[in-house]
Amino acid sequence: MSQQTKILLVVVLAAVLFATPVVHRVQTRAKRMNTVTDAPAGADGVVRADPATLAHQAGVTLDTYALARMVASEHPRDSRAIRVAVAWAARNYAAKGRVSVSRLLLRAVKNGKVLAHDGLFARQNTGGKYATTANDPNADDLEVASLVISGRVADPTGGADQFDSPAAQRAAVARGAKNYTKTPEEVAADRRRSGKVLVTLAGVPADKVRFWRNA
């Protein structure tokens, strides 16, 4: 047997012995890791990873990544119509405050005081947050965020800049979740007093998600 033939046999045997396990590991990881980053919130509800680094890992701008995290955290299993609508509400709120979407979602200020987790992604009940950004986004969340940031999909809320889920709020109050003290009815009353009007999506029960815009 020539030296060249021996080398070829070694290469073939190596491929047979090692290729299958490698493929299995890749496939297993793909099923387990369906998000574009891996930085969930810690026990205190705060994501300690650097936001800009996470956006770079996802291959998108910080605004797009932050909005995708919000979509993935607020309504991860709901229809695209709902996720587009909540993304638009955040974009509208940021525009109203003349800040970027990422700054809106990273900001943590309560009663004029800047909180320790300002500048980091976190659950909403950590305090001072517009919305929760605790969950990592997947590719579809990034697409929704990109469509809204670019304006390539129309705003279905007609300019709403706030949203809430009465069913989720009611459940949070019932279990005594931190910083959830108001009933959905009290939240609605507060928003109406501030000059907001209710907006609902066609085919979506208001108890599931509702939106608010200026009258």
pLDDT tens column, 127-170: 999 999 999 999 999 999 999 999 999 999 999 999 999 999 99
Residues 193, 124, 79: CA angle, nearest 5 degrees:
85
pLDDT of residue 1: 56
Instruction: Evaluate if residue 212 carries a pLDDT over 50.
Output: yes
**Residue whose tokens read 């955040």:** 90
pLDDT of residue 8: 41
**Residue whose tokens read 């928003």:** 191
C-beta separation of 126 from 117 below 8 A: yes
Radius of gyration of the chain (CA): 22
pTM of this prediction? Answer: 0.83
Q: What distance in Å separates the CA atoms of residue 19 and residue 68, rounded to the nearest whole number?
A: 35
- Split at pLDDT 50, 70, 90, the class of 2 is low
pLDDT of residue 167: 94
Instruction: Evaluate if residue 16 carries a pLDDT over 50.
Output: no
pLDDT of residue 22: 28
Using one digit for the tens of pLDDT, what is the confidence trace for 90-132?
A: 999 999 999 999 999 999 999 999 999 999 999 999 999 999 9
pLDDT of residue 45: 97
- What is the mean predicted confidence (pLDDT) over 3-17? 41
Closest among 168, 158, 143 to 199, alpha carbons compared: 158
- What is the mean predicted confidence (pLDDT) over 54-82? 97
